[in-house]
Amino acid sequence: MIRIAIVDDHAVVRAGLRQFFSDQVDLRVTGEAANGREALDLLRAGEIDVMLMDLSMPGQGGVDALAAIKARAPDLPVLILSGLPEEHYATALLKQGASGYLTKDCDPEDILRAIRTVVRGRKYITPSVAERLADSLAGDADKPPHELLSEREFQVFLRLARGETIGHMADSMSLSVKTVSTYRTRVMEKMKLSTNSDLTYYALKNGLIQ
């Protein structure tokens, strides 16, 4: 029996997935959460073989939660199920430890296939993501700027783009203000941008925030 935790801030999505999984003899939902912090609580409770997680959630979103989860349970497969386009997030999150990336308009059978794949210790990669990963091996020249960021820089970039202050980031990420400011400087340099407003515009234009 594969034990699944569903992390999504929409109760109707969790209910729909729970009902869908109940028809599968080898799947069982053992936990639900509405944000990243609750996902960490599920992790501490145990009884999870795979976590199915959204990206856009209030409080601690999926990008931050993925980093925290992989730090505590590096072997736990985390499948991202998001409404955001895979071309903007998939390759970055796979490199940061996600076991797969699916969009919410995918075929439901793809979700089942992905779950059964990642619990065997393998990555679930769609053909389009595989193509993007292959392209990334060719070098950085054609990569969009946000894909050049490190895991922590990407987290800081998204938080800045959403209007979060450096002080609040420092508290929530358990970092010093100086460290967060250094990450911000690196992000600006790598992305060749000047202001937080530029970051927000870039993120909106590229579908990284809603």
Whole-number pLDDT of residue 138: 58
Whole-number pLDDT of residue 22: 94
Strands (E), the chain: 2-7, 27-33, 50-53, 78-82, 100-103
CA distance linking residue 53 with residue 98, whole number of Å = 10
Q: Which residue has the tokens 């409404």?
A: 83
Whole-number pLDDT of residue 62: 78
Whole-number pLDDT of residue 55: 85
CA distance linking residue 68 with residue 165, whole number of Å = 20
173: helix, coil or strand? coil
Whole-number pLDDT of residue 27: 96
CA distance linking residue 7 with residue 56, whole number of Å = 10
CA distance linking residue 144 with residue 140, whole number of Å = 8
* pLDDT tens track, the chain, 210 positions: 999 999 999 999 999 999 999 999 999 999 999 988 899 999 888 889 999 999 888 777 778 888 889 889 999 999 999 887 777 778 888 888 899 999 888 899 999 999 999 999 999 988 877 776 666 665 555 678 888 888 888 889 998 998 999 998 888 888 899 999 999 998 998 888 888 898 998 988 888 887
Whole-number pLDDT of residue 96: 84
CA distance linking residue 20 with residue 40, whole number of Å = 24
46: helix, coil or strand? coil
CA distance linking residue 31 with residue 2, whole number of Å = 12
CA distance linking residue 15 with residue 99, whole number of Å = 23
List the one residue out of 126, 43, 45, 66 whose CA is nearest residue 90.
126
Measure the N-to-C terminal CA separation of the chain; round to a whole number of Å. Answer: 36
